[in-house]
Structure 1
């Protein structure tokens, strides 16, 4: 597991229920792996936004990770962006979604590096 730079972010993960934490940490690894693989790699900042771990790139749109009332954990994107619309066009009916703001997960095995990595890459480069 990648070490935390911000103790507040680490504390936020530690406060999550075990199932939620396991899935959110798996998504965190995918966020960092995807960011490193981008041809237009940008510095990635990990911080808290709305009390949840968030990932920000200078030319990107914020990604948040956390629990969800209808799922064990979720990957959130900015609801006023076109990210979820593009994602559902590229991968129709492959995920459980909450409108235009989140991909919902019940198990870390549901995380697909290709499909969800695509969404993460689009978010991290949204304004390029």
Structure 2
């Protein structure tokens, strides 16, 4: 079961076109479900960073912050953002460069009207939320 959406996140989603808000709601659920499935991650703190819904395993400090929002004010694209000083996007590209789209060192970009490759995205989420546990 996915946690209720906090008011600050609801406000962000309410400001977006319906299809985009639906996709971000689904991505939020994927983040929470992925975290819940891995005991090393622990509970996530859900807040806003730079006006965007953000998720951080603050209790365990196992990983880095994930943010989600529309991509560059587009009504047709949204993104999963990671801290740009990590090597996560480089690692994502090595694993999923043929099925995911990226922006620089900070984001996986999705098209609102295309299917999300769920297994790949869940793996990327898990990699971010356990980033400080590797090696």
Q: TM-score, normalising length from structure 2?
A: 0.85
- Structure 2 unaligned runs (5+)? none
Partner of 2:43: 43
Higher RCO (Cα < 8 Å, 6 or more apart): 1
Counterparts in 2 of 1:39 and 1:108: CA distance versus 1, 3 Å: farther
Q: How many aligned residue pairs are there?
A: 127
| Equivalent in the alignment of 1:25 | 25
The equivalent position to 1:110 in structure 2, one of 87, 91, 115, is: 115
What residue is the counterpart of 2:4 in the other structure?
3
CA RMSD in angstroms comes to: 1.7
Which stretches of structure 1, 4 residues or more, deviate above 6 A after TM superposition? none
The answer to whether the 8 A contact 2:36-2:43 is kept is no
Secondary structure, in 3 states, of the residue corresponding to 1:94? coil
- Structure 1: runs of 5+ lacking an equivalent: none
Is the Cα contact below 8 Å between 2:52 and 2:67 reproduced in 1? Answer: yes
1:98 has 2:98 as partner: no
